[in-house]
Structure 1
Amino acid sequence: MDDRLFHEFLANTVIGGMSIALAAILLARHQTRGDLAMAASWLFAGTLAATTPLVAGQADPAAITVGDRLYVLPLMGLYVSTPIYIRHLVTTAAATDRARQIVIRSAAAGCALGLATYVLALVEPARFLNHFVYALDASDAWTDSEFWLFGAPLTASCAFLLVAWTTLARQDLDPGERSRARVYSVAVAPLLLSLVLPREASIVAYATAFVLFLLGVVTYGVAEGERAAFLSRFLSPQVTEMVRLRGLNAVMQAQELTLSVIFIDFRGFTAYTEAIPSQAVIELLRDYHEAIAGCVGRHDGMINNYAGDGIMILVGAPIARDDHERAAVALAEDAQRAAARVTGRWATDLHPLGVGIGIASGRVTVGAIGEIAQMEYAAVGTAVNLAARLCAQAEAGAILLDERVAVALGEGRTLPRGEIALKGLSAPVPVYQVRSDSEPRAVAGEPLA
């Protein structure tokens, strides 16, 4: 092997090794189908680079080698993994139905054309190598009809993929995926140039693309870390998993849902904070928040807001559910028991503590607002105000309900408290209280004792 061939072999081996190493990194930390598709792309790209020396020189149609045919397989893999990544992006984007269909169909058409071309290359490897691969940097390649036998469908394929990508770029992508996709978009240019540039220049172009793609991996990791910190403040593990699979935008985009709102607040907290050292109060709140968060996770709720000793919880958002009223009451009862254990550890005889809870149900507009590092999940609607007012009326240990939640819960589980005028509401509303196990149950036709 002369020096030139040796250096080419060494360069291709290094490039292939770098690509496969990046694929291994992506595979080790994969969380989504997009991660797997990108790992597969780099695995195929690395394999392609490493096998290029095997097909150096003109291919003899009468003596096709295994390497000549295997060279095509990584190219086919690239044409499968790229549309999969595009499809993953569109499923995590807040896109219109029309845009979604354009992206999916264009990516599918591009994939089909590319695969068909490479199937032909498997059948005719000598024509593919001699008239297309080796002719890419030849000045007269464009006049060769054999070149366009492969070049025309691949050009059309790239055009379809470009339509898919540009349409996708105009949509509201998931924040983490958007940061990665932007870097990848820039990196594609030097990667494609590395296929047609002379050997020395192609190595520089490929290395540039590699560094940019690696930057994309890091950028995505940072964005995912920020998102994980945000999600852990509000969501149950089940909802967090849904966000991971479908994307933050798809799960948390603004929408109107019928759900239940829970407000939980301490009783006796103001007097307690005036008499107890502030460090002990902070420890109490930490213990209290941790206990309530555990209840929220067990019942698939979502903590919408912490405000000192007050906590707002949504049941039925961002993932809608039909049994949100009953689930909200079950969560509230669990929270009461958990809060009782916390207050039992921290309350004193002179400064008792308790928790009051209010629950209301109705149509609420919910959605994430702000950039990911300062993101908040907003909830707006009459049910939010009503739940807050019910909580303010609830005595320590009591769970007050609006009529809708009480009806869903069933007559045997509630006690009517009559109509109560609540601040901020135009008319008195029927209020109910969840019956504890120690309270007498009414028999049909008989009044409560």
Structure 2
Amino acid sequence: MTEKRDYTEYWKEKWQNRETFFHRAKNHPFLEKNLEKILNKNGRILFPCCGKEVDMAWLASLGHQVVGVELSDVACEQFFSENGLKFSIKMLDQFKLFSSEDGRLRIYNGDFFNFGLKYEKPFESVWDRGSYVALPKELREMYPSHMKNLLEENARYLLDVVEYDQSLYSGPPFSISPDEVNVNFGSLFNCEIIEQKEIKPCHPGMDQVVPNISKMSEEKNQTKTYPDFWEERWNKKEIGFHQKTNHAYLVKHLGKLVLNKNKIRILFPFCGKAVDMAWLASLGHEVVGVEFVQMACEQFFSENNIKFTVKDLGDLKLFSSEDGRIKIYNGDFFKFNTKLEKPFECVWDRGAYGALHYDMRVKYAEHMKNLLVSSVRYLLDVFEYDTSLFPGPPHSCPQEEIQKLYGSEFKLELLESEKTISISQKLSDLNQPLDKLYFITK
């Protein structure tokens, strides 16, 4: 399904052949649980690509107005007949309009991308259970802006997606990663994860996909899961991201970062055992790293033959070189603050920002701002690639996202953008992701 024409024919054929594996005979539990988050009393809600969802009849019975959009006339007819609802049909220019007698239920039979405000006023609420996940990639990229045009300014939108191993099944329904939701929706909407659970496969072709995760928005509780993930990588020696030589971008742009000063303090978030820290200290600079994995801290000092001390600070341990030029705080970056170190004027961020899921990157950017002086110089190195081919980590970090999270307070300059042989084998198999370097200043 690579064109709009393909997707319309595909789903019409599914309904004609009664291959409606995706249809639920009961109300969706995510919608029941979170209804009050999106819908006021006697509210009005949009169901894109609605099929014959029973949730529509349930919401109408509660006094709400429900507007669906559906390609298949078979689905529209079955919805009304199976729910015992009398209806009328009106021919419009690009749609058939199916309406219940009381007017609380209206389904526009036609292509969702042709649906606009000439048919209905803007919506306050959306329940999107089977629409976004049904579309091929190029249409998913178009979908959020079209949806945005249909909504009130403060609309509330529940998006239900599935995520699974795409090497076992290619869709539809298509696997949707948290990063894709952010890339496609993030510039237009504020996204928040509110549900996640394992479900049974919703398509015969997905029988071998385990687990199949149903998500409303994106993943939850990343503050708890990201340290465990990276500690496991270090324990298993799966550290393909570690470079044994100084990073070429840092070497090339060091003068821009330190303003050719002989001694300056530089923050290395999620530093691992980066050899760049020893190099910068040898030049006379002071380096402060923050690293969750204790093994990485110990290996940095031992592999660089640097004597060190360890001090327990409660939430964090402080590893310090004897000359004091290198300090690594071992613990959660989000517990590192200006009570431990005064604000920084320089940052080298090579693997921190891109190691996190989007919801944590939002938190990270806000936390980072609290650690910086107003005249900061900040080099941010990230990857950018097609998230439908690889979900990360390292995660794809598009320029639009970085602009959104930093742009209101800082200036962004793109210094480098090169195709790269990646630090991840899976990422290397893609069509050469871009390694981008941003310079962030006031």
Q: TM-score range by the shorter chain?
A: under 0.3
After TM superposition, the score normalised by the length of structure 2 is 0.25
In proportion to residue count, which structure has more strand? Answer: 2
TM-score normalised to structure 1 length: 0.24
- Greater RCO, CA 8 A, separation 6+: 1
Bigger helix fraction? 1
- Bigger Rg, structure 1 or 2: 1
